[in-house]
C-alpha cells in the first residue's frame, strides 16, 4: 500500500504494475546525463534522474533487478518493472542507501525542471543547454554535484 503523496511525488512504470511514492515534502532536484551509457540504456538523447535516500522511496509491485558491474568495480542494482521492464531506479554500492530515480517515470514528469547537466561533451548537437543552468563536460566534482542534487 502506497502512502498518500502529492502528484509530483508519485510515479510508476508503463504497464501500471509498479507504482511508487516519494516520502519527501518536495521532489529532489533533477539533473540530466548525456553520457553514452544513458543514451544507450534509455534509447533516447539523455537521461533525467534525481537522488534520494532509498528509504524515502516507497515502491509497490513486481520489481526485477539487473546487476551491473560499473567500470570502477562497484555494483549497480537496476530496478525494473518485472512486466513492462521500465527502469524505475537504481542503487550503487559506491553510495549505499542512496536511490537514483529515473525522473521520466514520474506521473507529472511534465513539471520537472532540470538543475544541471553532466557529460555535456557527449550531448547530441541539437540540444542547447541554457547559460543559466550549470553543466559539466563529464561527471561533476562530487562536492559541487552534491550541493546541486541533494534533496532540500
Strand, coil or helix: 103: helix
Please state, in angstroms and rounded to a whole number, the distance separating the CA atoms of residues 128 and 151: 26
Q: How far is the CB of 37 from Zn ion (least distance, A)?
A: 5
With binding defined as CB under 5 A, does residue 35 bind Zn ion? yes
With binding defined as CB under 5 A, does residue 149 bind Zn ion? no
Which one, of 124, 133, 79, 123, lies nearest residue 101 by Cα? Answer: 79
Candidate segments 19-27, 79-87, 102-110, 141-149, binder of Zn ion by CB under 5 A: 79-87
Contact 46, 38 (CB under 8 A): yes
With binding defined as CB under 5 A, does residue 103 bind Zn ion? no
Judged by CB under 5 A, how many residues of this single chain contact Zn ion? 9
Strand, coil or helix: 18: coil
Q: How far is the CB of 25 from Zn ion (least distance, A)?
A: 27
- Interface with Zn ion by CB under 5 A: which residues? 13, 15, 17, 33, 35, 38, 81, 83-84
Amino acid at each position: 500500500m502506497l502512502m498518500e503523496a502529492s502528484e509530483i511525488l508519485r510515479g510508476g512504470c508503463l504497464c501500471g504494475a509498479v507504482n511508487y511514492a516519494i516520502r519527501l515534502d518536495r521532489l529532489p532536484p533533477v539533473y540530466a546525463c548525456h553520457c553514452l551509457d544513458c543514451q544507450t540504456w534509455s534509447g533516447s538523447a539523455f537521461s533525467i534522474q534525481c537522488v534520494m535516500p532509498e528509504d524515502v522511496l516507497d515502491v509497490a509491485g513486481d520489481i526485477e533487478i539487473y546487476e551491473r558491474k560499473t567500470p570502477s568495480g562497484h555494483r549497480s542494482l537496476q530496478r525494473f518493472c518485472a512486466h513492462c521492464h521500465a527502469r524505475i531506479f537504481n542503487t550503487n554500492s559506491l553510495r549505499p542507501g542512496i536511490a537514483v530515480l529515473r525522473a521520466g517515470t514520474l506521473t507529472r514528469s511534465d513539471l520537472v525542471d532540470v538543475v544541471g547537466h553532466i557529460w555535456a561533451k557527449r550531448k547530441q548537437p541539437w540540444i542547447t543547454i541554457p547559460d543559466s543552468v550549470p553543466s559539466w563536460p563529464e561527471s561533476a566534482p562530487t562536492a559541487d554535484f552534491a550541493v546541486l542534487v541533494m534533496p532540500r
